[in-house]
Amino acid sequence: MPRFKRQRLRDIPCVEVPKGHYSDAPSFGRVVRDKDGRKIATVRSDLPPRIKRHVALHERVHIKYGGGEIKTNLISAALDPIGFINTAFATVRNKERIRYYINRIKWFLKNKNKTNG
């Protein structure tokens, strides 16, 4: 396994956005593209500092190493285990996010049934 250096991750730009910036989902953070098409990390400005730091790290890992949520969570948890646990608990406490995940699961089950005929 390669060594993941936090210093280089920090070179990836991350900007803060207000709560409600992501209209389609109550995300804590997200990867977006700037006007030149470069990927940048975004994180919600209203989050507690420790969680904000971890979300910024998580989004930067998405940009640097690619891959889905499992890979990204494994890398970001290895780099910042305390931040990962705090963020996981914040997710569980957040009703909007729970609703969002329930709706996603419902959508998945509905569409899975459709494709299975």
CB-nearer residue toward Zn ion: 50 or 65: 65
d(CA 13, CA 96): 27
Least gap, CB of 113 to Zn ion (angstroms)? 27
Count the neighbouring beta carbons within 10 Å of the beta carbon of residue 37. 6
d(CA 30, CA 11): 17
Beta bridge partners of 30: 42
Least gap, CB of 29 to Zn ion (angstroms)? 8
Site string for Zn ion, 13-52 (x = CB under 5 A): ----------------------------------------
HSE, CB side, 13 Å, CA atoms: give it for residue 110.
6
CB-nearer residue toward Zn ion: 16 or 115: 16
Least gap, CB of 96 to Zn ion (angstroms)? 17
Element (H, E) at 79: helix 69-79
The residues in 67-86 that bind Zn ion, with binding defined as CB under 5 A, are: 69, 72
d(CA 31, CA 83): 19
CB-nearer residue toward Zn ion: 42 or 72: 72
**Residues forming the site for Zn ion (CB under 5 A):** 69, 72
